[in-house]
Amino acid sequence: MTDKPNFLPERLALLADLNAAQYLTEGLLSGKEDAPAIALNKTTEPLPHDGESRAELAPVRDLIDDAMYKFRDDRPTSADAWLAPRLHATLRLTRREAADRRIWNYLALGVAPDYVVWRHLVAKSEDAPPKVAARRFRGPAYTQAFARLWWAAELFRDGPDYGPVVTVCSNQDMLNTALRVDVIDHRPTAQATVRLMERGTVRTGREVNALVAAINASAATLMYDVVAPDAERDGRPLREWIEAAESAPAVPRRELPVGPYEEKTPERSVDVLVDHFAELFAGAPVRGRRDAGEETGSEV
């Protein structure tokens, strides 16, 4: 099985798509080879914030080691809900920084290829050997192993509260589907979907997919930001949170970390959309809606 890199520098870095592609060998994707750490690090570029504490590699690697140990006897999918908020709070990135695919390429190949293999090694059929999809190492934000967790935490946290992130990342269908639609960038929409999950209105993977599809389709005719306005965003709490990384301790492992002290989503706006989305879901086509015993969330 792919092992932890035998060389880890002190700082995180950027790895361009073209450079990342050359390391996505069949041996690595099948979990039979390690990433060539020394050669890989010769092709990287420094982070724009390389001189800051949040660019240190060790806290990220330690967090990933703890995730793999904590869930060593569970399904690897169980790690998502634990790791997502803690990864977000450890990296302390702006959205602009997180939109740069090169940092996620480096995390997947230069910092923790063993985690990517452990988490995403699957067999597509009984006759096919297990393999990791290349997009888990180098791919869009909604599929790349670490980008998907960071963006889930960013889009579903309620100000400093990461609780909703845990709810979303505990259901693979919500995690995999919601990140693909732009409407989730509207905070009241994101929190309303979480509320419906917490209430048990939507439970199964099919129900989650039907809900997200209905919400996205309705957004074409109903402007959610008008009927359910969000609080005006102030960039200062995020800047202060990032600056505080210079003296912040490691993120807690038992309790949830605390995010930027931004204003929470307006409760009235969330309530308006909860009622609207519940009506949408009631009329949405859900394959096997009456089937009993359907499991919550598909394994991906």
pLDDT along the chain (300 residues), means of 10: 97 98 97 97 97 97 98 97 98 98 98 98 84 97 98 98 97 93 97 96 92 95 95 94 96 98 97 97 80 46
> Nearest CA to 228 among 274, 182, 159?
274
DSSP H helices in the chain: 17-21, 26-29, 37-41, 58-70, 79-91, 95-98, 101-106, 113-120, 147-156, 163-169, 172-178, 187-198, 205-218, 224-227, 236-243, 267-282
pLDDT tens digits along 165-214: 999 999 999 999 999 999 999 999 999 999 999 999 999 889 999 999 99
Task: Determine the length of the chain.
Answer: 300
* Strand 45-46 relative to strand 13-14, pairing: antiparallel
pLDDT at site 127: 80
Q: Give the torsion sign (CA, 105, 136, 121, 298).
A: positive
167 contacts 197 by C-beta, under 8 angstroms: yes
> Nearest CA to 152 among 138, 171, 132?
171
pLDDT at site 293: 42
Alpha carbons within 13 angstroms on the beta-carbon side of residue 129 total 6
Listed by start position, the domains of the chain span 1-154
pLDDT at site 294: 44
pLDDT at site 254: 97
Token pair of 104 as six digits: 């996620």
pLDDT at site 289: 66
**Measured distance CA(68)–CA(116) in Å, rounded:** 10
